Structure 1
Amino acid sequence: MTSNSPPTVVLVHGAFADASSWAGVIAELQGHGVPVVAPPNPLRGLASDAAYTASVVAGIDGPVVLVGHSYGGAVITVAGTAENVVGLVYIAAYALEEGESLGELQGRFPDSPLASSLRTATYPVDGGGSAVEVSVVPEAFPSVFAADVPEEVTRVLAVAQRPLAAAAFTEPAAAAAWRSKRSWALVAGADNAINPEVERFGARRAGATVVEADGASHAVAVSRPKFVADLIVEAVRAVG
């Protein structure tokens, strides 16, 4: 690792989204001169998604600040143990404990509206079998995922969403990188996809520096990119 390199920000999207959801945040970070990478998150399982993200991190020369949105927070919690990761930023995200699953963390709190707005489908896996994936019912997507985003945008996001393998909800985290790395967290105050109390609990447990985006939906990176980018820049400066 090149110690005098400025940290590179790696943005990990969550379920029911893709890397384009970071577009506004990327523009803000680039405006600050911050190196940034936004890889695809496969959304096929926590261990495999974290391994893929860790491989991206390993290909970066110098320190990395890992940023995760939603399920991406669980991914960076595991992938963040990579040696050159120097900070973690959780954006309306899950910050899991080692050995804990998404379902276990969510189960501590009342369900969000997302729980009743999912539909299932099957997809083929190696060996000729099949597995289950979940996505958000398109009609519910605007209110559940992106209530503060213009309707014409949410209509596009709803049909472009990427499903998450259902197994990801029960797969335990193999590590909790926040135990050894500095962390920051943004809580979306009007999140209908993840109960904001889940976000607050995980952030407090991780000892994160926390900011609240009052009235923000789960898609806070789309609706308030500057607010999100400002927290990431704060993290970059703190560890850089």
Structure 2
Amino acid sequence: MSLPSLGAPARRRTVLGLALLVAAVSAAPATATDGDGRTAGKAKPTVVLVHGAFADASGWSEVAMRLQHRGHEVVAPANPLRGLGNDSSYTASVLKSIKGPIVLVGHSYGGAVISSAAAGNPNVKALVAEAAAWKTIPSWFLVARQDKATAPDLERFEAERAGSRTVEIDSSHVAMMSHPETVVGLIDEAAETTC
């Protein structure tokens, strides 16, 4: 599935807000490889996926696998779910351990976590979610039209307020499980646009 181009003026950074299965913390950014496994082109950002409340990182397994197949390093830390301040501080500490550009993805409550955790971190190049960091970091937003946990109209309002590049799909609240390829496409677009 091809996603339309951003069309808005480029911003300094971008933040992604979805969560993903823990794969590995990389000391260096991943690089794309050709069919023979040789390095090809520029380094790809590390994708960090943060899950929401009442969940764990396993919900991102399909997305993580596809991102890894496309050459991304993927980190999906266990969100401790101890309150926004604690969860954001923990996630910020994970981000500080990663060298190179980061695309940060948060699902549901994880969107608030990543927005706070990304503040002040120059390596965060893209957000897929909401909160304070969206004021200075370009963002992408996936609206799930069949979401029963968060009203789609609220999602649209948040995305518009943040000036996010928005994609809508017919999905429930857990689009990363039911539509992993669409989620990966949105993450790839953010990475390609900002890194």
- The two structures have a TM-score, normalised by structure 1, of 0.62
SS where residue 202 of structure 1 aligns?
Answer: helix
Cα RMSD of the aligned pairs, angstroms, is 1.6
Task: Give 1:2 shift.
Answer: 8.0
Residues 44 and 71, structure 2, Cα contact 8 Å, conserved in 1: no
Task: Give 1:5 shift.
Answer: 4.2
Aligned to 1:34: 72
SS where residue 15 of structure 1 aligns?
Answer: coil
1:57-72 map, 5 Å: 57-72=95-110
SS where residue 60 of structure 2 aligns?
Answer: helix
Q: Which residue type is aligned with residue 14 of structure 1?
A: G
Aligned to 1:223: 178
The alignment of Structure 1 onto Structure 2 pairs a total of residues equal to 156
Q: Which segments of structure 1 move beyond 4 Å, counting only runs of 4 or more?
A: 1-5
Match of 1:9 among 30, 47, 57: 47
1:197 and 2:153 aligned: yes
Q: Distance in 1 between matches of 2:128 and 2:147?
A: 17
Task: Give 1:180 shift.
Answer: 0.9
Residues 2 and 63, structure 1, Cα contact 8 Å, conserved in 2: no
Q: Distance in 1 between matches of 2:123 and 2:148?
A: 34
Residues 64 and 84, structure 1, Cα contact 8 Å, conserved in 2: yes
Q: Distance in 1 between matches of 2:122 and 2:90?
A: 15
Q: Which has the larger radius of gyration?
A: 1
Aligned to 2:135: 179
SS where residue 65 of structure 1 aligns?
Answer: strand
Task: Give 1:33 shift.
Answer: 0.9
Aligned to 1:89: 128
Task: Give 1:27 shift.
Answer: 1.1
Aligned to 2:89: 51
Aligned to 1:235: 190
Q: Distance in 1 between matches of 2:64 and 2:116?
A: 23
Q: Distance in 1 between matches of 2:122 and 2:191?
A: 16
